[in-house]
Every structure is written in structure tokens, then in C-alpha cells.
Amino acid sequence: MDDVSWSPTNLWRGPQSPLPSGVAANPVLQDGRAGFYLFLLLELLRGNGGTEEVVIGEVEGNATLVCRNVSPRAVKVEWFHGDPGKIPILFSSDGSLPSDARFSLVRNSSFHISGLRLQDEGNYTCREVLNETDHRHRIQLLVASGPTKVNVNIGPATALPNGTLYAQRHGTLNFSCTSDSRPTSATKWDFSQSGSGQEPFTEVNSSLSYFTLYNLSPSLQGNYSCSATNLLSHRQQTVTRELLIYYPPPSLPRCWAQTSAEGSGGVQLLCSWTGGYPHPTLQWTNLGNLSRDSNVTGITDTNVATLNGSPLLSGKEFVCRGIHLLQQTSQACTVKLEAPSLVSDPMRSCFASAGNPPANISWLRNVSLTQTEIRSGGRFLVSQKGNVSTLVIQNCSHGADSGLYICKVENPLGLKEAYVYLTVIGKQITFKMAVRWYAKGRGRVKVAPVKGWVGNQEQRPGMMGAVVQKQLEKP
């Protein structure tokens, strides 16, 4: 170990900065009295024993005690562990073997100790023999040990398999840090979050430090580091613990069904349970061999299972169960699949069941036995708002617009169609047909001229829908 020059400022720790709001720390030696007392002790030792130099070493390290101002004319240099005359000689440059193999002389005057032990600490004297006179130089050796066994406790908290700790939001946590050190160590806490620097939390001149965090929030999630620093050797030991703040989702899981990507003909079952940390475990049950997915269980806030579309799925119920790490019981939601259906009222309207997943609504026109989907553009306006799909034909004429119109309702479980045959007589009018969906799954297809005109509807044999037979004069 290299020689260490001593300075009282190395042992002094002044008043500590205030703790963050919501943090309570121990007051033990918080004003730096441990370093101050050690400083006074060294001053007394120097004054009483005539110590001219202080050397600091560490256990298992090395220290070299230099006999200052040795004359080249010296006959020999002798070393004592104490004052000469009171104790036996420890080592001499005249060739006498040392009492301990750990001792040796450097440049025939300096005393070197390897593998330092605590019992090596004390006052040493070198005596320079010059014929009939001698010169003495006193050195005090201080041996530091530690810090070792730095122990960090954070609780009440639960440890994950990788050692990371987690606690529940809004809870209270107690932090403590202890270490073995001679002399006592300074203990400091630092806090850091991912991607940010360290933030000092608290520091005391003691081998014990503790504080408490109240009303835990996600902003307190991060790494907590306790550093113990030996006040003599300044050797530092740091232990870091990662803390996660967990909280369950605030509401119950939600389930629904939707049609898979266009052309796949499948049904997607979706289960969502958001707002918690970490993600819950979601699992679809009752799927049997219907699912395209090999794994219907996942640690995620949204789980999707894909089924092959089939009329056989109509009326089946599927259950999604979710469980969060902080909850002892699972939560569940249910989704029921239904194919769309139509019930005809020939004189006025066509009622439809929306189905689940929600059916796609389209309008088609049968032109020369070929069905062509009607899209918005020109004189045609197709719109859907809420539960109503509407087809508006502007400037309707007999030659261009009379014929068969089809309202098509489809989901992966089935297809239903409603037919409306339109005959236009007389002057040009604007005509509207609408399919209305109700929240409970039923709907109505309504055929009528726009406001300001009156139509008379009559059943066409063998067809669902209505025929406009004549147009009355504007009232």
C-alpha cells in the first residue's frame, strides 16, 4: 500500500444537506461528530506521545514507515513498537533478524510491514545511532478495516427471482444500511432512475443509516444505492437494490369480438385489462381446438385469440380470465358470438340483428344479373352514423335508378341480405333507403322519399322490400 499523508479534513464531515420531502432519517451522528472526535483523538495522541507523523494502512495491505533525516554517518537504525528502553528492539539494520517475517527494511532505514493486522496499529520509534549519540523519529500507524458486510434492507417488499424488489403503490417502505468498518464509516444513499443521473438522498457519519418513504408512487421506482466509506482509508463499498412499484388495473377486464383482417374470414377475440403494472396474465378459455393460435395465454394488457369463421360459432360464449400479481383472485369477462339475422316486414321495413362481431353493412345494386357494390360518389351517398347506414340517391330517375337494391349484412359467422325493388314514376326525386341498427342488436331497413314528398308502397310478390308505385303531387 502506498503511504498516505494524514489531514484532519479527511476525517471531518460537516452538517448534512436536508432530506427530500417525505423522507425521515436517523439523527445518529448526523452533524459529523464521529470525524470530529477522531480528529481530537489523533491530536491528543500526537501531543502526548510526541508523534511526528501519522501513517494510515489497511488490513491485509502494506505500510512503509520512513525514518526521516537519517544521516549517512549513522552506525545503525533500530525500530521499536513503542519507546526504546521500554520494549525489545523490533528490527535493526545491523543484520539482526526480525521477530516477524512480515517485517523488512527498505533502503536500510525504512520499516516495511506487509499483510497488516489490527494489532500492528500503534506508535513506532526509529532510533538512529551516531557513535555516542542517537536521533529518534516517532510515527503513529493507524490500521483501517472495511467497510465490509454492507447490508441493505428494504421492507416490507417482495423479491423477484432476479433479486429485484417490488412494493405496492401508496404503501410505506423502510430503508436501512449497515456495514462493518474500523473506524466507523460514512454512509450515503443515492437514487437513480433509468436514463438519469444519481440523486443524493441522505448521508450520515455512521455505519448505520435508515429512512422511510411514505405513499409510494411510480416516480420512486428505480435504483437505491448505499455507499459506506471508511473515514481513514476512504475505501468505499456500494450495494445497489432495484425497486419496482406495482399497482393493479383500476377496472375489470373488457372482452369484445371483431372481424379479422380483410379476406382472412376469421374472428378475433380481444381481452383488454389496462392500467396496471406489471402487465397481468390473460388467458382465453373454452376455445378447444377452434383457435388458430398455439398459445392463448400471455403476460400483456391485451390478449387476442383468432378463430376460423364458421356458422357453428354462433351462440358460443368464450371467457377471458386475468390475474395480476397483486391480486389473489382472478377477474373475468365473457364474449358471445352471434351471426346476423333479418326479419321482414314487407310493407314498411326490414329488421336485422347486428351480430357479434359487428356485421359489415354494404349496399349493392343488381344490374343485368350482376351485383355491384354502391359506393359514395356522384348521385349516390352511402353513410353510416352510429347504428344507421343510409343510401341516398339524388335526382332519382326511372331509367337510371329503377331496379333491385340489396342491403347486405355480413360477419364471419354468416350472411344475410334484404332486397328492395325500386320503381321511379314521374318527375325526378331524391330517394333515401336506410338500415338502422339498434343497441340490442336489431335494426330496420327503411325505404322512403326525402322530406317533402309522399310515397305509396306496395308489396312485390316473392320479394322482401317495397315498390314505389306512384308519386303523389307535392302537398
Write out pLDDT tens, residues 352-365. 556 788 887 888 88
DSSP, collapsed to helix, strand or coil, labels residue 119 as helix
Grid coordinates representing 441?
Answer: 342488436
Task: Give residue 158's pLDDT.
Answer: 94
What is the CB neighbour count within 10 angstroms for residue 25?
20
Task: Give residue 21's pLDDT.
Answer: 40
218: DSSP letter:
G
Task: Give residue 38's pLDDT.
Answer: 47
Q: What is the pLDDT of residues 93-123, one digit of tens each?
A: 777 667 788 888 888 788 899 999 999 999 9
Task: Give residue 11's pLDDT.
Answer: 28
Q: What is the pLDDT of residues 151-180, one digit of tens each?
A: 999 999 999 999 999 999 999 999 999 999
The answer to whether the CB of 276 falls within 8 A of the CB of 324 is yes
Do 33-144 and 341-471 show the same overall fold? yes
Domain 341-471 matching CATH 2.60.120.260: the answer reads no
Residues making up the chain, counted from first to last: 475
Grid coordinates representing 188?
Answer: 450515503
What is the CB neighbour count within 10 angstroms for residue 205?
27
Give CA–CA dist 300/284, Å, rounded.
Answer: 13
Task: Give residue 235's pLDDT.
Answer: 92
The answer to whether the CB of 210 falls within 8 A of the CB of 176 is yes
Dihedral pair phi/psi, residue 120, rounded to 5°: -75, -15
Give CA–CA dist 195/78, Å, rounded.
Answer: 59
Distances (CA, A) of 79 to 4, 94, 96, 99, 311: 20, 11, 11, 12, 102
At residue 82, what is the residue type? G
Beta carbons within 8 Å of 227's beta carbon, 6+ residues apart: 187, 188, 189, 190, 236, 237, 238
28: DSSP letter:
T
Give CA–CA dist 168/325, Å, rounded.
Answer: 10
Task: Give residue 133's pLDDT.
Answer: 62
Whole-structure pTM value: 0.65
Report the chain's mean pLDDT, rounded to a whole number: 75
> Which residue, chain included where needed, has cell 425521515?
24
Grid coordinates representing 342?
Answer: 333479418
Domain at 254-336, CATH class:
mainly beta
Domain chopping of the chain, boundaries: 33-144, 146-246, 254-336, 341-471
Distances (CA, A) of 30 to 41, 118, 147, 399, 434: 19, 27, 19, 98, 80
Grid coordinates representing 348?
Answer: 314498411
> Which residue, chain included where needed, has cell 434492507?
153
DSSP, collapsed to helix, strand or coil, labels residue 382 as strand
> Which residue, chain included where needed, has cell 364471419?
412
Strand partners, 398: none
Question: The CATH number of 33-144 is which of 1.20.200.10, 3.90.1150.10, 2.60.40.10, 2.40.50.140?
Answer: 2.60.40.10
Task: Give residue 360's pLDDT.
Answer: 79
Domain 146-246 matching CATH 3.40.50.2020: the answer reads no
The answer to whether the Cα torsion of 196, 201, 207, 213 is positive or negative is negative
Task: Give residue 353's pLDDT.
Answer: 58
Mark the ranges of the chain whose per-residue pLDDT is less than 50. 1-50, 344-351, 436-475
Task: Give residue 59's pLDDT.
Answer: 93
Give CA–CA dist 229/99, Å, rounded.
Answer: 34
